């Protein structure tokens, strides 16, 4: 069911391949490129809280450090702030079952399609998931949002084309969009 023109209180955006150009285990803030056209559209959203939810298995794999992940997130925030877009919170899962760093090498409920990080934000901000949307380039991103009752948009940037068939087969209620900018148009027009 494709529903539009609905109240939107918050967005749960994937970071890599969705909000920023996919770079693969991005450690360097200089590698941050915002998805083309997305920032002005985010700026046009009024009263919509913005959360970035990101699986950073590079932490568990020993390929990234927390300061690196935080530096990249801070740079994403800085780039968006030039458009007067404020990120409410960056929600990071550092885990992976096959990780190399012992304390992070485990199954968890926060790695998407797990929903622990979304649930915490919903609770902390008193949000109704039916008035929220999840946007991402992997099937796990839309699966997490949909399982909480959010609307979801699968973008074809990043790993989106590889994941498209799984999204269409497994989550036909997800909308499809070529980019985050178009996904935002779908949700708000």
- Residue ranges in contact with Mg ion by CB under 5 A: 14, 16-17, 137, 158
Residue for token pair 């708000």: 188
Residue 55 CB, shortest distance to Zn ion, in Å, is 8
Say how far apart CA 150 and CA 75 lie, in whole Å: 28
Beta carbons of 10 and 23 less than 8 angstroms apart = no
Active site (catalytic) residues? 14, 16
Select from 3-11, 34-42, 91-99, 165-173 the region that touches Zn ion (CB under 5 A).
91-99
Output the CA–CA distances (angstroms, integers) from residue 70 to 19, 22, 64, in the order listed: 16, 17, 10
| Closer Cβ to Mg ion, 103 or 108, answer by number | 108
Q: Which tokens in the block code for residue 101? A: 């760093």
Q: Dihedral through CA 105, CA 129, CA 122, CA 108, nearest 10?
A: -10
Partner in contact with 140, chosen from Mg ion, Zn ion, none, beta carbon below 5 to 8 Å by kind: none
Say how far apart CA 134 and CA 143 lie, in whole Å: 9
| Closer Cβ to Mg ion, 46 or 166, answer by number | 166
Say how far apart CA 128 and CA 147 lie, in whole Å: 13
Residue 18 CB, shortest distance to Mg ion, in Å, is 5
Partner in contact with 99, chosen from Zn ion, Mg ion, none, beta carbon below 5 to 8 Å by kind: none
Partner in contact with 17, chosen from Zn ion, Mg ion, none, beta carbon below 5 to 8 Å by kind: Mg ion
Pick from 110, 156, 167, 174 the residue near Zn ion by CB under 5 A. 110
Partner in contact with 108, chosen from Mg ion, Zn ion, none, beta carbon below 5 to 8 Å by kind: Zn ion
Biggest distance spanned by C-alpha atoms of the chain: 46
| Closer Cβ to Mg ion, 104 or 137, answer by number | 137
Ranked by CB distance to Zn ion, the top (closest) residue is 108
Beta carbons of 6 and 148 less than 8 angstroms apart = no
Ranked by CB distance to Mg ion, the top (closest) residue is 17
- Judged by the rule CB under 5 A, the positions of this chain that interact with Zn ion are 93, 95, 108, 110-111
């Amino acid at each position: 069911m494709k529903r539009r023109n609905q109240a939107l209180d918050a967005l749960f955006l994937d970071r890599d391949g969705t909000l920023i150009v996919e770079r693969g285990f991005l450690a360097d803030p200089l590698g941050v490129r915002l998805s083309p056209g997305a920032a002005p559209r985010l700026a046009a959203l009024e009263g919509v809280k913005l959360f970035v939810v990101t699986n950073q298995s590079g932490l568990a794999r020993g390929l990234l450090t927390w300061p690196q992940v935080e530096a990249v997130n801070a740079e994403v925030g800085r780039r968006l702030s030039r458009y007067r877009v404020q990120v409410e919170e960056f929600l990071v899962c550092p885990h992976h079952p096959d990780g190399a760093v012992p304390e992070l090498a485990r199954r968890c409920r926060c790695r998407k399609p797990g929903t622990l990080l979304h649930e915490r934000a919903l609770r902390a901000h008193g949000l109704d998931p039916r008035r929220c949307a999840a946007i991402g380039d992997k099937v796990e991103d839309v699966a997490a949002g949909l399982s909480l009752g959010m609307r979801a948009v699968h973008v074809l940037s990043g790993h989106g084309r590889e994941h498209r068939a799984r999204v269409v087969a497994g989550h036909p209620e997800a909308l499809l969009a070529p980019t985050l900018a178009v996904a935002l148009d779908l949700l708000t027009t």
